[in-house]
Structure 1
Amino acid sequence: MALTAADAYRRAIERFLGKLSGSQTVGQMEKKVSEQHRLALKRANFDVDLTFNEAAGVLAISTGQLDLLLQQYPPDQPVFEVKGVRKRTTTLTKLMAWAYQLKAKGHWKPLTERGTSPDTLLTAKLPFLLVKSPGAKQVIVEPLGDQEITPEFQRAMQGLGLAHGYKVTFMTFAEAFARPWLRPDVKRQWVDAFHDATLAQADRLRAMAHQFDSVRAQVKSQALEERLAVGAKKSPSVKAGRL
């Protein structure tokens, strides 16, 4: 199953920085990868084996985007090996050698060169990725978390796009899917990702509704017990001589 850029990035973070703690930053992630790459170039035993998902995360792109780059800009030497049942693996040195070729030709940039601050904390709400759509004068803004798209964020992204000669537009998924796409296969990847995200959101809402029903039942039960307790205190006693 294809991974979104968020999921792939998390895989790479866990590979190089460990579990998310809320204290790691984008800059630390890129520095760690760079340091490990330098060590691997000096001594082969320091090289890092990467799955296809982790490799996409190192480049801070989705697995679908990694496949697309491999198709459109094939490396001079094979980057990935197939092991087992279609399991693709590579090493950090092979991946970065190809990545630097892509960067030199303007086909890929590290996350910090796409407008993300190095000080951005790596929390459950990961930063946003700006991805240039291949062959098109546009920029796709792909959210990596549930961060709200505020007017300030829109202005910042549009300004960043203008600085690089691209127009950034914001629209709903329905509006985006209704427009003509240069590559139907990329559109299909987005449709699948949106479908999976919608199902996940529905599961979260159902869980919240179940939790709310449970809490509401407890509140009703507690309120009933309180009313019964007050009623018992106000009931006339036999000692008073009246019923």
Structure 2
Amino acid sequence: MHVYLYSAKGRRQSLLDELNSVRMTPVEIGPQFFRGDLRLLNRAGGDSHAFLLSAGPDLIGQILKLRRAGCEHPILVLREAANAEDSAHALDAGADDDVVMPVNAVELRARINAVLRRAHGHSADSVTLGEVTAYFDGRDPEVSGQRVKLSRREHAIFQQLVLNARKVISKAAIYDAVYGMAEDQPFDKVIDVYICKIRKKIGQAAVSGHDYIETVHGRGYKLDLDDDAAVTGAMSSSVGLDLPRMAAN
């Protein structure tokens, strides 16, 4: 998970260390960032990059610039001391959360994931599709009751499929979400490689042998059930998606 970090100098290194410890990739930004064309942030997939903004005199202006540019990214404010009035102003301006430092990176990740999953229509911490239970909180997925270990990059890519479960997500959107904003994507074949690896791991763990990741030619990928998969039992999502029962062939 990439996050844009606008931090107070006194906590910069501790924040960087904390974020890196929980599979989060901080991208440091400064005042000049907000003077650029923020509409470029609205590329498909980019809205999964959260903003962590240290409270300061420019905070409200920064939040307003992001929201007025159409950015729907999670915005979390990091402040040194509780201040109900200032927190209210930040939330009214468009921030999603307001956190008093110091804060553990595990908690920050959970807060970001909560914003992201609700933005994608999920209310719980996981999605269940047939034999696959996928989590939003950083845990590896479980397939047919066993944990499937994913690398950091595989996990980041799989997370995008999970957030968009049962929907097609383009390769470009996955690339932007995982690797960050770029004007061109010379290495977009790397997504195909990682998708292949994730499919293999899921297919090997699934009793049915189904890999659950569908290629939609010309459009992208989709995490979903397959009509031909030998999956039995109730196919109901733990986030309230009304998934149909699938009869075993």
Question: When the two structures are superposed, what TM-score results if normalisation uses the length of structure 2?
Answer: 0.24
Bigger fraction of residues in strand:
2
- Structure of higher CA gyration radius: 1
Question: When the two structures are superposed, what TM-score results if normalisation uses the length of structure 1?
Answer: 0.25
